[in-house]
């Protein structure tokens, strides 16, 4: 049974505002066949189906799916089976993507750890050989100069 929301239409501006997308992105998805808005003259008119597809497209992109993968999953939509086939395929792909993202996270953590170790080794050597080349050394020297200049003008302050 159709609801009132099923018959509602949206402008490109409304969908952009709701989903934080750009008009250029929506036109791009239309060019790729992911969205199929109706036309009223030059104006694009999106329906509830387009809105739902946009939500899935943006979610899929955030997860890391390619547009081709998203298109394949969207094409499996079939109301007659309650989308069970689509959900089964999407579930398997989501599980695989979770594993890929976890591996990327591990790779990133390892890369960060290696970079931090390299920074610590370089900072240690610089602090022994040329502390003036350490990051922030110039700022520290500037503050120190200002402090020393101030005290040079007033080397001894009398206390009352």
**Which H or E run contains 50?**
helix 48-63
Integer Cα distance of 27 and 85 in angstroms? 29
- Name the token pair of 50: 């387009």
- 92: tokens are 């398997």
* Predicted confidence (pLDDT) per residue in 124-148, tens digit: 998 888 888 888 877 767 776 776 7
pLDDT for the residue 73: 92
Quote the CA–CA distance of 98 and 53 in Å, as a whole number. 21
* Residue 101 in tokens: 């993202």
pLDDT tens per residue, range 97-118: 999 999 999 999 999 999 999 9
Please compute the mean of the pLDDT values over residues 80-109 and round it to a whole number: 93
**Residue with token string 């979610």:** 59
This model's pTM is above 0.75: no
* % of residues, the chain, pLDDT over 70: 86
Helix (H) or strand (E) holding 38: strand 38-40
């Amino acid at each position: 049974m159709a609801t009132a929301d099923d018959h509602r239409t949206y402008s490109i501006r409304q969908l952009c505002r709701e989903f934080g997308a750009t008009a250029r992105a929506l036109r791009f998805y239309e060019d790729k066949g992911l969205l199929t808005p109706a036309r009223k003259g030059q104006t694009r008119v999106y329906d509830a189906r387009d809105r739902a597809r946009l939500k899935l497209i943006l979610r899929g992109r955030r997860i890391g799916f390619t547009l081709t993968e998203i298109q394949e999953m969207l094409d499996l939509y079939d109301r007659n089976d309650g989308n069970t086939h689509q959900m089964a395929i999407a579930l398997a792909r989501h599980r695989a993507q979770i594993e890929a993202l976890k591996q990327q996270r591990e790779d990133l953590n390892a890369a960060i750890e290696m970079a931090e170790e390299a920074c610590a080794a370089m900072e240690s050597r610089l602090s022994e050989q040329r502390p003036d080349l350490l990051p922030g050394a110039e700022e520290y020297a500037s503050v120190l100069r200002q402090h020393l200049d101030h005290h040079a003008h007033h080397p001894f302050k009398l206390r009352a």
